[in-house]
């Protein structure tokens, strides 16, 4: 029996739980395949993508910092990857073309936005913190819900301005003003790496926010960042990025294996047990 090979490229990768997720589903659905961490340097991207072309690899996920960097090496980008210019899933199509897709948008929709019971979601003001690899997917997912009052603050403002070139309706704010702008927001989404295990935290304490604010953190490891802990103390509704992570994986898996895997309690417990 032949084995199919999949993996995730990025750097650093030690924190990635994608192998746990995909290998769990391979076992559950009795698919002969293996999913591994492939930590690479920038100059190795082309070589890895060529392994898709030569069928040594059947699928690749892409994480930070290569979600944009892979694009020049692909034959085609489609669907949400085209809308965001951010690729997290690569495969070979029937015509032998290496195709880049994006499942982060679906992940955010299924894992967060579709759960919100808010009325008139489109009237919400949203502050996005950060302008990294996943930020364009967040903006696109919000815009599909009709939300267009989007403010974005990033330490390096040039990167936020770059994203505005694609999404002209967003408003770039200065990093030093994020706390003040946060006071008027209905939803705040953290797409920075602030709050990661053993990393830096926000210096701002976001004391004066609306009582019905919703705070979403892309981070899922640790399960509760400092920001989530602080907002919870004030009884503010918070979400972490675990469901987004699982749903983006679900869509990648279905693109590669033509099976939409189930999200059962056993899977969530397996993932949660691996979190710090």
Applying CB under 6 A, the residues found at the interface with ligand ATR are 64-65, 130-134, 154-156, 159, 192-194, 200
* Total residue count of the chain as it appears in this document: 276
Measured from each CB, the residue nearest to ligand ATR is 132
Give ∠ CA 256-258-259 in degrees, rounded to 5: 110
CB 215 within 8 A of CB 188: yes
Q: What's the min distance (Å) between Cβ of 191 and ligand ATR?
A: 7
CA dihedral 94, 82, 190, 63 (to 10 degrees): 40
Give 134 or 244: the residue with its C-beta nearer to ligand ATR: 134
- Which pair of structure tokens corresponds to residue 39? 């930590």
- Which pair of structure tokens corresponds to residue 133? 């690899």
Give, for 34, the enclosing helix (H) or strand (E).
Answer: strand 33-39
Residues 6+ apart with CB under 8 A from 276: 197, 221, 222
Give 25 or 167: the residue with its C-beta nearer to ligand ATR: 167
Give, for 139, the enclosing helix (H) or strand (E).
Answer: helix 135-144
- Which pair of structure tokens corresponds to residue 113? 């936005």
Q: What's the min distance (Å) between Cβ of 194 and ligand ATR?
A: 5
Q: Which residue has the tokens 């210096």?
A: 203
Among 169, 181, 188, smallest CA distance to 112 is for 188
CB atoms within 10 A of CB 211: 8
Q: What's the min distance (Å) between Cβ of 157 and ligand ATR?
A: 8
Q: How far apart are CA 154 and CA 160, in angstroms?
A: 6
Give 200 or 269: the residue with its C-beta nearer to ligand ATR: 200
Residues with a known catalytic role: 67
Q: What's the min distance (Å) between Cβ of 135 and ligand ATR?
A: 7
Give 15 or 28: the residue with its C-beta nearer to ligand ATR: 15
Give 155 or 164: the residue with its C-beta nearer to ligand ATR: 155
Q: What's the min distance (Å) between Cβ of 215 and ligand ATR?
A: 17
């Amino acid at each position: 029996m032949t084995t199919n090979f999949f993996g995730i490229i990025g750097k650093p990768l030690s924190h990635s739980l994608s192998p746990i997720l995909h290998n769990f589903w391979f076992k559950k659905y009795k698919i002969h395949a293996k999913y591994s961490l492939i930590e690479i340097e920038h100059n190795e991207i082309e070589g890895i993508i060529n392994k898709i072309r030569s069928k040594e690899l059947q699928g690749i996920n892409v994480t930070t910092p290569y979600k944009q960097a892979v694009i020049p090496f692909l034959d085609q980008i489609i669907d949400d990857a085209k809308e965001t210019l951010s690729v997290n899933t690569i495969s070979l199509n029937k015509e032998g073309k290496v195709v880049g897709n994006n499942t982060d948008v679906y992940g955010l929709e299924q894992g967060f936005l579709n759960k919100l019971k808010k009325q008139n979601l489109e009237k919400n003001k949203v502050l996005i913190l950060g302008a990294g690899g996943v930020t364009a997917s967040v903006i696109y997912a919000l815009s599909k819900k009709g939300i267009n009052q989007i403010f974005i603050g990033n330490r390096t403002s040039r990167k936020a301005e770059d994203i505005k070139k694609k999404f002209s309706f967003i408003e770039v704010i200065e990093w030093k003003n994020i706390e003040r702008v946060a006071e008027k927001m209905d939803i705040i989404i953290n797409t920075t790496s602030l709050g990661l295990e053993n990393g830096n935290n926000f210096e701002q304490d976001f004391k004066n926010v609306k009582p019905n604010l919703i705070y979403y953190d892309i981070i899922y490891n640790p399960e509760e960042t400092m920001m989530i802990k602080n907002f919870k103390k004030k009884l503010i509704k918070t979400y972490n990025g675990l469901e987004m992570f699982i749903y983006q994986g679900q869509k990648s898996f279905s693109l590669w294996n033509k099976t939409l895997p189930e999200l059962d309690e056993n899977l969530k417990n397996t993932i949660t047990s691996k979190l710090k």
